[in-house]
């Protein structure tokens, strides 16, 4: 799968000092995915004590990253 970063994602990744490698790992091998709004998906992967949340849109074989951030706690939907 090809992963593209939106302009907003590029800005937020730099501000939050995130690694694109971790974001790619989260999209390609998530612990779980929750459907979001407007055809978006929220992928989560645990790294040490926190989960990385990556919001992206899947368009065929392309994933467009909207934003990403660390979350300490979240409520997993059933």
Tell me: the pLDDT tens digits for 36-52? 889 999 999 999 889 99
Question: What domains sit in the chain, N to C, each tagged with a CATH number?
Answer: 2-71 (3.10.450.530)
pLDDT at 10 (0 to 100): 98
CA distances from 45 to 7, 25, 65 (A): 23, 8, 15
Per-residue pLDDT at 72: 80
What percent of the chain is predicted at pLDDT more than 70?
A: 94
Burial degree of 71 (CB within 10 A; 0-12, 13-18, 19+): exposed
64-77: pLDDT as tens digits: 999 999 998 766 65
Residue 16, phi then psi, degrees to nearest 5: -90, 0
Measured between alpha carbons, how far is 43 from 55 in angstroms, rounded to an integer? 7
């Amino acid at each position: 799968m090809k992963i593209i970063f939106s302009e907003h994602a590029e800005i937020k990744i730099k501000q939050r000092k995130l690694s694109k490698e971790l974001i790619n790992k989260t999209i390609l091998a998530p612990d779980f995915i929750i459907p979001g709004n407007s055809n978006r998906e929220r992928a989560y992967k645990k790294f040490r004590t926190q989960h990385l949340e990556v919001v992206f849109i899947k368009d065929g074989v392309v994933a467009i990253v909207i934003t990403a951030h660390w979350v300490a706690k979240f409520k997993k939907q059933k």
